[in-house]
Structure 1
Amino acid sequence: MSAALELGDLLRYDAEYKVLICRECKYAIQKNALGSHLLRHKIYRGERQRLLSSISQLHVLDPDDVRSPFADCPPVDGLPVIAGYKCLAPGCGSLCASFKRMRHHWSTTHALSNPSDDFACSVDLQTFFRGTKLRYFEVSRSTSVVGPSLVPDCQDSRIAQQDSNLVVEPKPHAKTSVLPRSALSGSILPGFDFDLEALRYFHHFVTTTSLTLPARDYRLSTYWQTDVIEQALQLRWLMCGVLAISASHMAARLDVETTKQMHLDRSAQFQLGFLAGWNEMKHSTVNLDTEELKTGAQMICIQRCCQWTLAKPNTPDQNSLELFTASIRGCIDSNFALCSEVSGNSFLVNASIPLVNVENENSGVGNHSPPALLEHLRSLPYRMAEPLGKPDDPLDVMATLQAVETLVDCCLLTYRADEVGTVWIGMESWLRRVPRHFEEMILRRAPAALIVLGHWLVLVERAEHYCWVLKGLAVRIMTQISGDLPEEYAIQSLVAGLIG
């Protein structure tokens, strides 16, 4: 057991390996990312400075300098243990988190496309870091193993869903050289197969649901009917994602509670199959920049919005404001969705390709933006001045003014046409165009940024009338904004009555 220093409920310093481990995220945090990571967990001002001051006294190593534990060491506390494989080729010992990745290793490193069954053995793995710094190390066998990838020979895996992360707990198994000949080529969940009911959901998606979903390009109305369907017919896990969204859509169209719940149950079942394949691909594919993974990340955002939309009104909402906005953006921008889901950073992601630049086409021709709404948005900076007082940072002022100006442009855009593509892009493009400093203001819950965000919900509410995936989200986000704003009446009144 390594010596450790507890830094509140969130962070743990492992003195043996000289890393800071986030208890919630279950991985080590790099030194240069500590400030933003604390903001993601809603640790602000004084508390954040106190933690950073304490951490500055510790010796925290960069990822490349952290040594890996020895293979017979017990698991490092605070890190998940996953089932993986170790190559048994002489002098190799490479570690992979999935059978598919190990097969790729055999082919590329040892030039073996069809190795014998004793070419690798099952082991328990951990990693300190994620993303580009991910590096697995072997630990002594634990009594239970969790992992992002399905082990092919575990027929009675217990599957649980935690947001977009799938946790799989296979049976404890001895450290023997067992590698099944069948990879995850087709079947994602053992014993799970498509039936006539699944075909019904597929038909509904092709003929109905696909027409209601926004595409990356508002002029490509067949994106979900052609591109996505073509991918789903090739990959079973993407087909599960298609069926999950279709079942959610059928549930959203019904008022009869029993039938609605039946579709929700089927959606949850399909979603498990989808997430199993998503996690397998995400953790075993060398090149993450694939159309299939992008589509999968986009499906995660859409299905997440579906779950919020279909949740009962009195259901407690534990989701962060950043997750709401990132999901809305990811529904239409698969590049952003992939970066967000893979990196775990749900807000400050700058790795998206530009969408169709329709925001500069606001000529006013055929625009039906309510004049009163435009005037209300343009006057917002003046109405905020007195209740909020003089800001401490001049950059906050500039970022807020730019965000309001952009909101007016996006309002003009969203009223250009009464159809899902234009309405959604008008709403989503504001999230893409606000200054980076304004995003940071939202992360630290600056009242000015939250008030402008509340006015953006007017565009979300308009989009609700054209896309079932968004139904009720404006109210949910506004509830979070109101809860984060100071309780003073003058401040709360700036967002009161905007929605509904």
Structure 2
Amino acid sequence: MAVTFGTNDLLEYDAKHSVLICRECKYAIQKSALGSHLLRHKIYRRERQRLLSSIAELQLVEPDDVQLPPAGFPPVAGLPVISGYRCTATGCESLCASSKRMRRHWSESHGVSDPPDSCARSVNLQTFFRGTKVKYFEVASPEPLVTGEGMVAQRHDLDLVPTPASVPPPGPRYDLDLETLKYFHHFTTATSLTLPTGNHEPAMYWQLDVVARALQQRWLMCGLLAISASHLAVLPSDETTKQVHRERSEWFLQEFYAGWGDVLQSPSVAGLEEAKSAGAQMICIQRCCHWTSEIPALSQGLIPEPTAFDLQSFTTTVQGCADPNLALHSAFSSDDMPEGSSDAAVSGNVPSALLDRFRALPYRMAEALEKPDNALDFFATLSAIDALVECCSLSYASDDVEAVWTGMASWSRPRRLSDHFNQMVWHRNPAALIVFAHWLLLVERAERHCWFLKGSATMLLRQIRGYLPDDSSVHRLVGDLIGREDRH
């Protein structure tokens, strides 16, 4: 007889394999994640502690130590059975959940980029764990059921697709994942309103266009849900709840990146390019999330390279959040910007103290720094400061997210900063780094509107300080830039 725990027998202990299976989620729970998993099911303090005390008496092994059933054994109760593939190469027998994964396996493990149809045979698979601990094993075909009408239906617990010979039985056959629906609802009602749209219509892009594509592409939906979970993780709540959202974000990301890899290898078809574009933007947004202090970086290394938090990768990623081609198209083209002095373009909404600081910057830098190595350094630095004043005007044109984002992100686009200035930043030129540090005032302003940037300005300023010469007069130029709410 199975040993169960919790209301409605939520958890079932499989003594044969020493794992604890959540009957609602249909996978085994790692010992270290039990507390947060119970909280996800709305099991709070007293009941949770009682359950954890009872479960502590059980022998639970770590995912890597679970003894998998031999191939062909009956399915493990409580786990979904999915269709998959077993490699037919001699001595291999690797298992994959999709034909695309199997083709990739042949390419990476057997050096065959275009394997024949006979490279694998269809099998039924199960896995005890999800996320980064997925480890498939082959099982026998599930026992058929006879429905009320005498029709045959296979006992698949996940993604059952009715066919003329396979009809789901009446009653609550399809189990709606209410937790996942909550993340989807939060995205459509809240998160989508906080994301930059670049040259897209703000009210349409994330709420309608991306959602419509995500409803057709499972991997894209997982990316959307991951962003929603990351958003919830930075909202005010207790640390345990935040951790639950972080874990759910990681789970969604796992499937998102698996699908992303498959899509990149797929031939272009109608609608797929738009999905790729949305996916690329999601990657940039998630990279920003995991760079900040609010959401720790993933230990599994899911975020594609470049993952290092540095000046160049940050500016490129920021632009990619609104444009997958890493070139933000703001509402103001280069022809719209006035020539010559930037003063003519300055909005009246820009705090006078901020403008005074930017205008005085060349003189303060001249007092603290040595003479520029060449005239190009001097003019590139002045041009970058002028561009900063223009972008400041864009940022303060209004307090909506698009204006603030455009003002912040457009400073680092190629048409504003010269290649020479970018090279100065790359070579850690002190003058360029000081100007870059002053741009962080616009980044900090954007943080108040864009939750996924929270903490970025402080992290970048700390990095810049480490690059500057050990000179007090130089450090005073950037010492009080970030974190002072009263400076304006």
Question: Is the shorter-chain TM-score for this pair beyond 0.5, marking a shared fold?
Answer: yes
* CA shift for structure 1 position 368: 0.8
Matched, 1:223 2:213: no
2:382 maps to what in 1? 401
1:203-242 alignment runs, 5 A limit: 203-217=185-199, 219-242=201-224
Instruction: Give the match's secondary structure for 1:216.
Output: coil
Counterpart in the other structure of 2:406:
425
Conserved 8 A contact 1:218-1:356: no
Aligned residue among 423, 435, 439 for 1:452: 435
2:177 alignment partner in structure 1: 195
Aligned to 2:449: 466
Inter-partner Cα distance in structure 1 for 2:104 and 2:274 = 32
Contact 1:237 1:273 in 2 (8 A): yes
The one of 255, 275, 284 equivalent to 1:292 is 275
Q: Distance in 1 between matches of 2:262 and 2:129?
A: 16
1:272 and 2:247 are equivalent in the alignment:
no
CA distance 1:244–1:417, shift in 2 (3 Å): same
**Out of 362, 368, 372, which is 2:349 matched to?**
368
Change (3 A) 1:369 1:446: same
Task: Report Cα offsets for 1:412-469 as digits up to 9, x if no partner.
Answer: 1111101110000000000112112211221221111111110000001111122212
- Cα offset, 1:406, TM superposition: 0.3
1:216–1:334 Cα contact (<8 Å) kept = no
Residue 357 of structure 1 is matched in structure 2 by 332
Alpha-carbon spacing, 1:327–1:424, altered in 2? closer, same or farther (3 Å): same
Unaligned runs of 5+ in 1: 1-84, 87-97, 103-119, 127-135, 140-150, 162-167, 173-185, 188-192, 337-351
Partners of 1:201 and 1:246 within 8 A in 2: yes
Match of 2:474 in 1: 491
Report how far residue 243 of structure 1 moved. 0.4
Residue pair 1:216, 1:355 contacting (<8 A) in 2 also: yes
State the AA in 1 paired with 2:409.
E
The CA distance in 2 between the partners of 1:204 and 1:335, in whole Å, is 27
CA distance in 1, matches of 2:290, 2:369: 35
Matched, 1:250 2:232: yes
The residue type equivalent to 1:443 in the other structure is W
Is the CA contact (8 Å cut-off) linking 2:233 and 2:295 kept in structure 1?
Answer: no
> How large is the Cα RMSD of the aligned pairs?
4.0
Report SS of the residue matched to 1:481: helix
TM-score by length of 1: 0.58
CA contact (8 A) 1:101 1:285 kept: no
Post-superposition offset of 1:170: 8.0
Q: Distance in 2 between matches of 1:153 and 1:446?
A: 60
Aligned with 2:291: secondary structure?
helix
Post-superposition shift, 1:410? 0.4
TM-score, reference length from structure 2: 0.60
Listed as ranges, the matches of 1:38-437 within 5 Å are 99-100=99-100, 123-125=106-108, 195-217=177-199, 219-285=201-267, 290-309=273-292, 311=294, 319-336=309-326, 352=327, 354-357=329-332, 360=336, 367-432=348-413, 433-437=416-420
- Cα offset for 1:488? 1.2
| Aligned-partner Cα distance in 1 for 2:437–2:227 | 28
Change over 3 Å in CA distance of 1:358–1:256 after alignment to 2: farther
Tell me which residue corresponds to 1:79. Answer: none
Check the 8 A contact 2:284/2:321 in 1, yes or no: yes
Amino acid paired to 1:424 = W
How far the C-alpha of 1:255 sits from its partner, in A, is 2.8
AA aligned opposite 1:330: G
1:369 Cα offset (Å): 0.3
Q: Post-superposition shift, 1:398?
A: 2.1
Name the amino acid aligned to 1:335.
N
How many residues matched?
333
The CA distance in 2 between the partners of 1:197 and 1:322, in whole Å, is 37
Shift of 1:304: 1.6
8 Å contact from structure 1 (residues 157, 170) kept in 2 = yes
Letter in 2 for 1:355: S
User: Equivalent residue of 1:239, what SS?
Assistant: helix
How has the CA–CA distance of structure 1 residues 312 and 218 changed in structure 2, closer, same or farther, with 3 Å as cutoff?
Answer: closer
1:480: Cα distance to partner? 0.8
SS in 1 for 2:106: strand
SS in 1 for 2:207: coil
| DSSP 3-state at the match of 1:357 | coil
The question of whether the paired residues in 2 share the 8 Å contact of 1:252 and 1:310 is answered with: no
484-493 or 412-421, larger mean C-alpha shift = 484-493
Which one-letter code corresponds to 1:492 in the other structure? H
Unaligned runs of 5+ in 2: 1-86, 89-97, 114-121, 138-157, 160-174, 300-306, 339-343, 484-488
- Change in 2 beyond 3 A, CA 1:160/1:200: closer
Amino acid at match of 2:350: S
CA pair 493-315 structure 1, distance change in 2 beyond 3 A: farther
Partner secondary structure for residue 494 of structure 1 = coil
User: Would you say the 8 A contact 2:408–2:446 is kept in 1?
Assistant: yes
Seen in structure 2, the aligned counterparts of structure 1 residues 315 and 286 have a Cα distance that, compared at 3 Å, is: closer
Q: Answer with 1 or 2: which has the greater Rg.
A: 2
Give the corresponding residue for 1:41.
none
Q: Is the 8 A contact 2:129 2:135 kept in 1?
A: yes
